[in-house]
Amino acid sequence: MKTQDAALTKTISATLRIGIVLAIGFGMLGCMLYLPSKGNAHASFHHFQGAQVPFASLHAIQTMVTKPASIAERGFGLAEIGVLLLMATPIMRVILSLVNFVRERDILFACITTFVLAALACSLMTR
Amino acid sequence: MNLFLFTGIVLLSSVGAGLVGALTGLGGGIVVTPVLTLLLGVDIRYAIGASLVSVIATSSGAAAAYVRDGLSNVRIGIFLEVATTLGAICGALISRKVPTSLLAIIFGVVLLHSAWQASQARVETSVVASQGAFAKRLRLGGTYRTEDGQVDYTVSREGAGLGLMYLAGLISGLLGIGSGALKVIAMDRVMGLPFKVSTATSSFMIGVTAVASAAIYFKRGYILPQMAVPVMIGVLAGSMLGARLLPRLPVKVLRMIFAIVVALIALQMMVKGIQESL
């Protein structure tokens, strides 16, 4: 019983750690690219711009990184990827816990985790 | 204000948010939202997006250490996530048919009472007496280390706990905030878990609850890198610091911090509810 949970906690802890490192890495790299040129620009976020900003679509972010108009734009794109990696971390954590439960033949918890994953997928798709 | 200064202020306050979030198991939105809206004049929707990032960052940053140290009970967390995610989906589905402003006021009063209750000490050692049959089957009990040695604990009333977790998810789906508070209270007061295990397990769970609403916020353009990245980096740093502090702080102090933060959330909720219904 102890050894099972040791594997589980190790998996989860490692997943979270990798997620943190990747998110901070991309976030900092992005900041270093956009802050030098945009740092002195006026920062105002009084007005909500809605989904027309490029940060609302994965495709637009991909374009910002691969074919940027300026270095700053590539920075914004990379920074947003960092945030997306942070958001992907809890999902990865659930998926890898499921793999762990299946491998340990813990049927009850495999079912519970599958349910959580399905509910998560459902809320990500529909809303 | 230029972007340098903006980034600096957001980064520093986010370190504080992560610290509070990791110590209370609540996620730090209570610090991030007022700093962005009241101090920096950011539109509320960008603040909501940043607050969501803050919750996920607290969860990852704190839980990486809590899970490794055995403070988060992973089995209890995953078991209860069933109820919170189901509740969150139901909450989102019925949110247009429910008078949310009235609900916010009622829930604010409930939270205020819970804050007072949570500030009261509870005997935590050797509660091995009444383990539920279902909890035993799921092997929900655990052990955590304190300065005085190892503490074994078990779970009681897991059914009532599941019900409260469903309610926590429902409330977060309906009102958008406050689910962490109910999670900690359910584990601490109903299921009889040690307070540190309750907050650490809540920290572990809130990331999954928050991520359920992440896609919609992203698609609506709530998440801007200029704000989200300093929040993310600051909160991650603060929550990793908080996770190192929590094992050393006395439960009495942690209960006090938790009660104050929950009381603030309750007041914020009631004000919001009253404003909306006027």
| Beta carbons of A55 and B225 less than 8 Å apart | yes
> Does residue B76 contact residue B155 with C-beta atoms inside 8 Å?
yes
A120 phi/psi in degrees, rounded to 5? -65, -50
- Residues ≥6 apart with Cβ < 8 Å to B113: none
Residue B247 · residue B96 · CB < 8 Å: no
pLDDT of B236 > 80? The answer is: yes
Report how far residue B183's alpha carbon sits from residue B187's, in angstroms, rounded to the nearest whole number: 6
Give me the residue spans of the domains in chain A.
2-37+56-125
* CA–CA distance, B114 with B198 (Å, rounded to integer): 15
- Check if the beta carbon of residue B132 is closer than 8 Å to that of residue B143: no
Name the pLDDT band for A1 (thresholds 50, 70, 90): very low
B16 pLDDT band, cuts 50/70/90, is very high
d(CA B42, CA B30): 15
Distance separating alpha carbons of residues B40 and B32, to the nearest angstrom: 11
Show residues of chain A in contact with B75, CB under 8 Å.
5, 109
Interface test with A, best of B59, B211, B240, B241 (most A CBs within 10 A): B211
**What pLDDT, in 10s, does the model give residues A40-94?**
888 888 888 877 677 888 888 888 888 888 899 999 999 999 999 999 999 999 9
CA distance A34 to chain B (A): 9
- Do A112 and B82 lie within an 8 Å CB cutoff? yes
Cβ within 8 Å, pair A89-B216: no
Counting every residue, how long is chain A? 127
Quote the minimal CA–CA distance from A103 to chain B in Å.
16
pLDDT for B144: 76
B232-266: burial string, b at 16+ Cβ within 10 Å, e else: bbbbbbbbbbbbeebbeeeeeebbebbbebbbebb
Question: Which chain A residue's Cα is nearest to B204?
Answer: A90
CB-based contact B31:B210 (threshold 8 Å): no
* ipTM confidence: 0.92
Count of positions (residues) in chain B: 278
Judging contacts by C-beta atoms under 8 Å, the chain B residues touching residue A28 are 233
CB contact under 8 A, A82 and B229: yes
Cβ contact, residue pair B85, A116, below 8 Å? yes
Q: Which residues of B touch A45 (CB under 8 A)?
A: 40-43, 46, 224, 226-227
Helices A2-38 & B225-245 angle (0-180, nearest 10): 140
- Contacts with A50 from chain B: Cβ below 8 Å: 220-221
Tell me how far apart the alpha carbons of residues B54 and B10 are, in angstroms, rounded to a whole number. 11
Give one DSSP letter per residue of A45-57, joined into a string. Answer: --S--GGGSGGG-
What is the Cα–Cα distance from B7 to A27, expressed in whole angstroms?
12
Residue type, A68: P
Residue B11 has what pLDDT?
96
Mean pLDDT of chain B: 86
Mean pLDDT of B8-24: 95
* Cβ–Cβ below 8 Å for A38 and B3: yes
Query: Which one of A93, A96, A114 would you mutate to disrupt binding with B, by most B Cβ within 10 Å of its Cβ?
Result: A93
- Provide the whole-model pTM: 0.90
Start-to-end CA span in chain A (Å)? 39
Q: Cβ of A42 and B215 within 8 Å?
A: no
